[in-house]
Chains A and B, each alone.
Chain A
Amino acid sequence: MFSLDMLHHLSAGMAFLGSGGGGDPSLRQAMARYHCEQFGMPEIISADQLQDDDIIVPLAFFGAPNIGQERIASGKELPALLHHITCYYGKKPKAIMPAEIGGGNGLTPMLIASELGYPILNGDLIGRAFPKLHMAIPHLLGINATPAFVADIFGRVTRFDNLSPEELEKAARKHVITCGSSAAIACYIMTGKQARTSIAKGTLTQAFEIGKALSANRLQSIITQYGGRYCLQGVITHIQHYNQDGFLHGRVTICSENGEDAYLHFQNEFMHAEGSDGKIISTSPDIITLMDSDHHSVITTDQLRFGLCVDVVTLPAPNIWYIEEARSMVAYHPIKEEGDVR
């Protein structure tokens, strides 16, 4: 379905769906390319091809994204997870999939699929990027996050049992610090039957289509195809950062062509866009993406720069994120501004 020279489209589309978060996919893209050069391209399958009792394993790296830029993944993490899961269930999983399509994690299964012979399920658990483990579609549909498995860089695996998704988020987050703040995780392991109804389907294809359109400078066609909205064009005139709970928070001011300011609030991802009059332009769970107008590339929250000319575009997240229970889970909450820290 995908060839090696399409990886960069896939990666660009994943950055787009990251809503400014999920980390810069460029390093992960290089790793995926290196893996596929050695072992070939993975098979991509759709949820309809699954048997009811198949085991499907969502995979992701989690922790602090900047750690992976310095202490790069060893390559032992994902095989260790799959080995333990196979032992635990007594049979080999049918497919693996990205837990999160947005940002670098969208490519995570491609670091291992071809070598170990797993097809990749075309879909993910979110349909975008969110910073916490419990912010996932299967959680909204009552699927357990545990048993969950976490592997460190040496391939040492820890299992978490009988925890709610919120409890897993806390426990795994605490554990990952002992792993040097970055590790691989498999959670919301589900059956083929569950996967047919409980994931964001086709998001690999979506990411690829978006990336391909971006490279041809067809932003408008993405907006039309996925029911999105072009919000504004402007220049970044101010960036504020504040640190809270170890997450990168802040606000970026964009002065639009007609001289009016718009504000984008970010908490790892872009969460909320509003006009200077406080009128909401777009808010989570909408995917809010900032594009470099000159280079037609996605700008993540850690690549913000003064003076960049940007387009603000939003795409809707998968429908399920707009039901009341889901909305309140991922809604934007303003935090007290503590001033600039950098």
Chain B
Amino acid sequence: MNSIIGIDIGGTHTDIVHMHHGKLIASLKHLNTDAVEDDLCDVLTSLLSAHPRISKSVDAIHIGSTFALNALLKGHSLSQIGVIRLAGHEPITLPPGYLLPSHIRDHVVKDYATVQGGYECDGRVITHFQEEEIVCALRYFLSIGVTSIAVCGVFSSINPDQEIAVRRIIQEHTGNKLHVSLSHEVGSMGFMERENTTILNAALYELTKKHFAGLKKRFKEIGFHCPLFYTDNYGSLITDEVAINYPIRTLLSGPSNSLRGGIELTQMEEGIIVDIGGTSTDIGKVKNGQMTRSSAKTSIGNISLNMPHADILSLPIGGGSVLEMNDTSFKVTSESVGKNLLECSQSFGGKTLTLCDLAIAAGSIEIEGASKILPESVAVDGLQAILEMILSECRKVKGEEEHLPILLVGGGAALFRGLSSDVIILDQDEIMVANAIGAAMASPTYRIDRVIDQDDPDIIAILKKEAINHIQEQHQISSDKIRLLEKQQYSLSYSGGKQVRFTAIYGW
């Protein structure tokens, strides 16, 4: 790919960049309105009017979107869903969605049906799957106004066949009208968390489709005929079709895009990237030019999920963080003034003491119209203490690899300029649009997460072929470019050593 447009839809701004052979050609920032489609079209039109020759040469548009995350946190306009549990032992110990926040549990999950099926850890079925039960459940769901269905089967990561059969049956009976989210496609081991992940995906589908399904057409009208991609939870590319069907996969694309942007801007092979924004700081580790990933449980707005994601540690520290002052020391509170920085900060005549005020008083940054409200030495000491807090979190992320360099990026990085020789702070203006650059530079991957028999000599080759075929089909990339990025085997203590959980990521 030679010429890419990267767009990052953030909470307040939509950023756009045009990258040519990895070099930044043009960039723009756009203040968001309430209509995400219009913002996207506006920002593209603005770019086009500034650089009229772009559209003909663009190979693809990559979008990083926090739309799903914000929709979930707000909880409005989510679909009414039905849950099908493939669990022949008919568990009544916990109902679907029990661990979700009440606004989702009570208003999104209309009802559920437990049906025969599911697998044991050794691959046997718990009970045999029965097609009539699915038809029956479907009829019931339709009668109560369900518009999207989540399916979660026990050990579907060992064998997804039953879940796939459920989708086929529902689509046959509804003529593809009802959307079906399958748990093995969105989450990993751990039934309740995977079921939650599937429920949220089903809840987000219609809203995502409403806003994003027509985009390709509108982009064409503006003059962009290229394919459209989105970035996912670990900063990889997914097609627009996948992004619309699996909105949950885009939930965490914001922080992973900024990390990817940091990697691209610095060509970092190994190290720690710290993205300091207005309200939060994201810390991630880079290995072999890639960000590290995790399948461990993750928590978003108090929702416990188990989908694979970039391994990022987020701290509630940013340029707009509100500080409490005790004598000459400062405490960072969990509050932030966010986009109202210039109105609220004391340096600009406001009433709130922010991290930004410290940086102005310390002389790390200069902003027109700002006054220094503290003695320089006090401010420098305060900033240093806060930087030390961030660095101590970085040391946790480093683990044993103490030699790794620490790089500060993002709009808030400059606040800490000149304070410590332990960190590198980039001087480029590109830092401000690192997210969009990250989206532009994202590449496709395919993730395998299966329980396999160690004695089966062919299985890994089969899975590899599946991964390569998938990437080739969706992204038109020649197979010799696709390589193994990451591989892990976990022993499963119950299986007597024969079965292992195998995860691998292929990409380029």
Within 8 A of B (CB), among A182-237: 182, 235-237
Q: How far is the CA of A196 from the CA of B139 in the complex (A)?
A: 57
Q: How far is the CB of A82 from chain B (nearest CB, A)?
A: 16
Task: Determine if B489 is an interface residue (Cβ-Cβ < 8 Å).
Answer: yes
Within 8 A of B (CB), among A54-99: 63-64, 66-67, 69-76
Contact of B89 among A34, A71, A308, A342 (CB under 8 A): A71
Q: How far is the CA of A139 from the CA of B247 in the complex (A)?
A: 54
Set of chain B residues within 8 Å of A246, measured between Cβ atoms: 493-497
In the complex with contacts A34-B98, A75-B93, A70-B399 CB distance below 8 A: no
In the complex with contacts A64-B494, A243-B497, A71-B126 CB distance below 8 A: yes
Task: Determine if B350 is an interface residue (Cβ-Cβ < 8 Å).
Answer: no
Task: Determine if B122 is an interface residue (Cβ-Cβ < 8 Å).
Answer: yes
Set of chain A residues within 8 Å of B189, measured between Cβ atoms: 66, 69-70
Task: Determine if A111 is an interface residue (Cβ-Cβ < 8 Å).
Answer: yes
Q: How far is the CA of A155 from the CA of B147 in the complex (A)?
A: 35
Q: How many residues of A sit at the interface, in one of the four size bands?
A: 35 or more
Contact of A74 among B90, B95, B121, B398 (CB under 8 A): B90
Q: A76-B90, A243-B497 are in contact. List 20 more A-B contacts (CB 8 A).
A: A30-B99, A31-B94, A64-B493, A66-B189, A69-B190, A69-B191, A69-B192, A71-B121, A71-B191, A72-B93, A72-B191, A74-B91, A74-B93, A75-B93, A181-B495, A246-B493, A306-B396, A306-B399, A307-B397, A342-B490
Contact, CB under 8 Å: A309 / B494: no
Task: Determine if A113 is an interface residue (Cβ-Cβ < 8 Å).
Answer: no
Q: How far is the CA of A273 from the CA of B293 in the complex (A)?
A: 31
Contact, CB under 8 Å: B122 / A180: yes
Q: How far is the CA of A64 from the CA of B122 in the complex (A)?
A: 13
Contact, CB under 8 Å: A66 / B493: yes
Q: Which residue of B lies closest to A64 (CB)?
A: B494
* 14 A-B pairs in the complex with CB atoms less than 8 angstroms apart: A30-B94, A67-B121, A70-B190, A71-B120, A71-B191, A72-B94, A153-B126, A154-B89, A243-B493, A246-B495, A246-B496, A306-B400, A307-B399, A341-B489
Task: Determine if B224 is an interface residue (Cβ-Cβ < 8 Å).
Answer: no
Q: How far is the CA of A181 from the CA of B122 in the complex (A)?
A: 9
Q: How far is the CB of A132 from chain B (nearest CB, A)?
A: 14
Q: Which residue of B lies closest to A112 (CB)?
A: B93
Set of chain B residues within 8 Å of A69, measured between Cβ atoms: 189-192
Q: How far is the CA of A132 from the CA of B303 in the complex (A)?
A: 34
Task: Determine if B154 is an interface residue (Cβ-Cβ < 8 Å).
Answer: yes
Q: How far is the CA of A174 from the CA of B394 in the complex (A)?
A: 46
Q: How far is the CA of A63 from the CA of B496 in the complex (A)?
A: 12
Task: Determine if B155 is an interface residue (Cβ-Cβ < 8 Å).
Answer: yes
Set of chain A residues within 8 Å of B489, measured between Cβ atoms: 341-342
Q: Mark A27-42, 1 if CB is under 8 A from B, else 0.
A: 1001100110000000
Task: Determine if A140 is an interface residue (Cβ-Cβ < 8 Å).
Answer: no
Set of chain A residues within 8 Å of B494, measured between Cβ atoms: 63-64, 66-67, 177, 181-182, 246
Task: Determine if A247 is an interface residue (Cβ-Cβ < 8 Å).
Answer: yes
In the complex with contacts A237-B400, A246-B497, A153-B89 CB distance below 8 A: yes
In the complex with contacts A71-B154, A71-B191, A235-B395 CB distance below 8 A: yes
Contact, CB under 8 Å: A342 / B488: yes
Q: Which residue of A lies closest to B394 (CB)?
A: A307
Q: Taking each of A64, A71, A308, which has the highest tally of chain B beta carbons within 10 Å of its own beta carbon? A: A71
Q: How far is the CA of A27 from the CA of B154 in the complex (A)?
A: 16
Contact, CB under 8 Å: B192 / A27: yes
Q: How many residues of B sit at the interface, in one of the four size bands?
A: 35 or more
Task: Determine if A248 is an interface residue (Cβ-Cβ < 8 Å).
Answer: yes
Set of chain A residues within 8 Å of B491, measured between Cβ atoms: 241, 243, 341-342
Contact, CB under 8 Å: B190 / A71: no
Q: Which residue of B lies closest to A154 (CB)?
A: B89
Q: Mark B395-408, 1 if CB is under 8 A from A, else 0.
A: 11111100000000
Set of chain B residues within 8 Å of A327, measured between Cβ atoms: none
Task: Determine if A238 is an interface residue (Cβ-Cβ < 8 Å).
Answer: yes
Q: How far is the CB of A32 from chain B (nearest CB, A)?
A: 9
In the complex with contacts A72-B93, A74-B91, A154-B89, A235-B396 CB distance below 8 A: yes
Q: How far is the CA of A248 from the CA of B93 in the complex (A)?
A: 27
In the complex with contacts A180-B121, A307-B397, A71-B155 CB distance below 8 A: yes
Task: Determine if B492 is an interface residue (Cβ-Cβ < 8 Å).
Answer: yes
Q: How far is the CB of B452 from chain A (nearest CB, A)?
A: 15
Q: How far is the CB of B313 from chain A (nearest CB, A)?
A: 9
Set of chain A residues within 8 Å of B497, measured between Cβ atoms: 243, 246
Q: How far is the CB of A243 from chain B (nearest CB, A)?
A: 5
Q: How far is the CA of A31 from the CA of B105 in the complex (A)?
A: 16
Set of chain A residues within 8 Å of B488, measured between Cβ atoms: 342
Set of chain A residues within 8 Å of B126, measured between Cβ atoms: 71, 153, 180
Contact, CB under 8 Å: A309 / B396: yes
Set of chain A residues within 8 Å of B400, measured between Cβ atoms: 237-238, 306
Q: Taking each of B89, B398, B491, B496, which has the highest tally of chain A beta carbons within 10 Å of its own beta carbon? A: B89
Within 8 A of B (CB), among A286-338: 306-309
Set of chain B residues within 8 Å of A243, measured between Cβ atoms: 491, 493, 497
Q: Which 3 A-B pairs have the closest CB atoms?
A: A306-B399, A64-B494, A307-B396
Q: How far is the CB of A152 from chain B (nearest CB, A)?
A: 8
Contact, CB under 8 Å: B118 / A34: no
Q: How far is the CB of B113 from chain A (nearest CB, A)?
A: 16
Q: Which residue of B lies closest to A239 (CB)?
A: B399
Contact, CB under 8 Å: A34 / B154: no
In the complex with contacts A30-B98, A71-B126, A307-B398, A181-B192 CB distance below 8 A: no
Q: How far is the CB of B48 from chain A (nearest CB, A)?
A: 46
Set of chain B residues within 8 Å of A247, measured between Cβ atoms: 493
Q: How far is the CB of A328 from chain B (nearest CB, A)?
A: 25
Contact, CB under 8 Å: B91 / A72: yes
Contact, CB under 8 Å: B395 / A76: no
Q: Mark B105-120, 1 if CB is under 8 A from A, else 0.
A: 0000000000000101
Contact, CB under 8 Å: A75 / B98: no
Task: Determine if B462 is an interface residue (Cβ-Cβ < 8 Å).
Answer: no
Set of chain B residues within 8 Å of A63, measured between Cβ atoms: 494
Set of chain B residues within 8 Å of A236, measured between Cβ atoms: 399
Within 8 A of A (CB), among B397-429: 397-400
Q: Taking each of B121, B124, B489, B492, which has the highest tally of chain A beta carbons within 10 Å of its own beta carbon? A: B121
Q: How far is the CB of B485 from chain A (nearest CB, A)?
A: 17
Task: Determine if B92 is an interface residue (Cβ-Cβ < 8 Å).
Answer: yes
Contact, CB under 8 Å: A248 / B121: no
